[in-house]
């Protein structure tokens, strides 16, 4: 677990301007096995908060606490929005350099590099100098450098920025696999369509404070998503506009859920999955903004 207690941070634009509070007495906790979203408008202070967590910038007051399960040095990794690279190194040389700094065995570095370069389609460019990389390739390389040591908790600032559609889907899949392995992830993103439904909890930063109320992607408790499959004996379902497809995905109100389950079984369909409907990220943001 990582805990922030009463973090406050101010900046002065220039000598004559007043101090502007970017982070105002912020407290929050993040745990292993969950994906957290830190959202907010540009300039809200998201990157500053991540840098405070990683001790890359000092807060005016407050403290960051790492518990015994998250050693600050070896168990927590960070990928900034804009990474600094050695431009004349190749991608492979850079990852080797990062791995050596972290005391990873040479064989492990090689095996992990091969895996991650292949995962993000960088294998053909592993010997290319970084100065020739595109923005998207640099984002991939930054992510790889942040996970080469197999950390327990990963902090990612705009990891989807600059990635093509396929790479964004791969990254989402990787993050969800990390969650299954009980790793913790905290990330920022302005691409809400790409991160929809992967968060367990949202922190929304506005005017220096965290707005969250009680809207953390919680289940709406008013409807459920049914995924059902046809059999040779299936007959039409009352909730389906068309029952001709082999598989159906249906939204069912909570008060009709039990009766619909009986109907599905009676009409010869197989229930593959029933999930509570969750609010989208945009719905959560709109709710938070209204409360504010």
Pairwise pLDDT comparison (288 vs 89), residue with the higher score: 89
CA–CA distance, 78 with 142 (Å, rounded to integer)? 9
Highest mean pLDDT (candidates 36-40, 120-124, 165-169, 215-219): 120-124
From start to end of the chain, where are the E strands?
2-12, 19-30, 35-39, 61-66, 76-79, 153-157, 184-188, 201-206, 209-211, 219-229, 247-253, 270-278
Can you give the pLDDT at residue 254? Answer: 85
**What is the per-residue pLDDT across 130-176, written as a single tens digit (0 to 9) for each?**
999 999 999 999 999 999 999 999 999 999 988 998 999 899 999 99
**What is the per-residue pLDDT across 47-63, written as a single tens digit (0 to 9) for each?**
999 999 998 999 999 99
What is the band of 213 on the pLDDT scale with cuts at 50, 70, 90?
Answer: very low
182 phi-psi bin (left φ>0, alpha ψ -120 to 50, beta other): left
Average pLDDT in the chain: 86
Q: Examine the pLDDT at 279 and tell me if it is beyond 80.
A: no
The total number of residues written for the chain in this structure: 292
Instruction: Compute the average pLDDT of residues 264-290.
Output: 77
What is the band of 5 on the pLDDT scale with cuts at 50, 70, 90?
Answer: very high
Dihedrals phi, psi of 222, to nearest 5 degrees: -115, -15
Can you give the pLDDT at residue 191? Answer: 63
Can you give the pLDDT at residue 217? Answer: 46
Dihedrals phi, psi of 65, to nearest 5 degrees: -115, 125
Can you give the pLDDT at residue 211? Answer: 78
Can you give the pLDDT at residue 129? Answer: 97
Instruction: Compute the average pLDDT of residues 28-45.
Output: 88
Can you give the pLDDT at residue 215? Answer: 46
Q: Which two tokens stand for residue 93?
A: 């040389």
Q: Are strands 270-278 and 76-79 parallel, antiparallel or unpaired?
A: unpaired
Can you give the pLDDT at residue 263? Answer: 94
List the Cα angle 71/75/81 in 5-degree steps. Answer: 120
The DSSP code for 235 is -
Asked if residues 174 and 119 have their Cβ atoms less than 8 Å apart, the reply is yes
Which range, of 170-174, 220-224, 233-237, averages the lowest pLDDT? 220-224
Share of the chain above pLDDT 90, in %: 55
Asked if residues 241 and 251 have their Cβ atoms less than 8 Å apart, the reply is no
Can you give the pLDDT at residue 16? Answer: 67
Can you give the pLDDT at residue 214? Answer: 45
**What is the per-residue pLDDT across 66-125, written as a single tens digit (0 to 9) for each?**
887 776 667 899 999 888 899 999 999 999 999 999 999 999 999 999 999 999 999 999
CA–CA distance, 211 with 110 (Å, rounded to integer)? 43
Q: Which two tokens stand for residue 23?
A: 């982070």
Q: Are strands 201-206 and 35-39 parallel, antiparallel or unpaired?
A: parallel
Asked if residues 9 and 59 have their Cβ atoms less than 8 Å apart, the reply is yes
Asked if residues 225 and 265 have their Cβ atoms less than 8 Å apart, the reply is no
Q: Examine the pLDDT at 269 and tell me if it is beyond 60.
A: yes
Helix (H, G, I), strand (E, B) or coil at 90: strand
């Amino acid at each position: 677990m990582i805990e922030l207690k009463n973090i406050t941070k101010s900046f002065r634009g220039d000598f004559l301007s007043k101090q502007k509070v970017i982070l105002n007495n912020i407290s929050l906790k993040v745990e292993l096995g969950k994906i957290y979203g830190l959202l907010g408008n540009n300039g809200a202070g998201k990157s500053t908060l991540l840098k405070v967590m990683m001790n890359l910038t000092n807060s005016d007051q407050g403290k960051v606490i790492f518990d015994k399960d998250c050693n600050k040095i070896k168990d927590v990794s960070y990928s900034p929005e804009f990474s600094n690279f050695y431009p004349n190194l190749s991608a492979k040389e850079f990852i080797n350099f990062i791995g050596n700094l972290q005391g990873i065995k040479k064989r492990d570095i090689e095996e992990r590099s091969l895996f991650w370069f292949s995962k993000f389609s960088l294998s053909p460019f592993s010997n290319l100098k970084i100065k020739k990389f595109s923005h998207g390739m640099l984002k991939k390389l930054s992510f790889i450098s942040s996970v080469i040591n197999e950390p327990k908790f990963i902090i990612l600032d705009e990891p989807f920025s600059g990635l093509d559609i396929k790479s964004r889907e791969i990254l989402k899949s990787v993050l969800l696999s990390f969650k299954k392995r009980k790793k913790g992830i905290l990330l920022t993103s302005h691409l809400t369509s790409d991160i929809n439904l992967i968060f367990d909890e949202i922190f929304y930063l506005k005017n220096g404070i965290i707005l969250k109320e009680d809207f953390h992607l919680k289940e709406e408790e008013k409807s459920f998503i049914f995924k059902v499959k046809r059999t040779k004996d299936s007959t039409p379902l009352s909730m389906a506009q068309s029952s001709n497809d082999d598989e159906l995905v249906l939204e069912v109100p909570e008060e009709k859920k039990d009766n619909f389950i009986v109907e599905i079984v009676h009409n010869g369909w197989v229930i593959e999955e029933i999930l509570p409907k969750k609010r989208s990220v945009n719905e959560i943001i709109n709710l938070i903004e209204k409360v504010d």
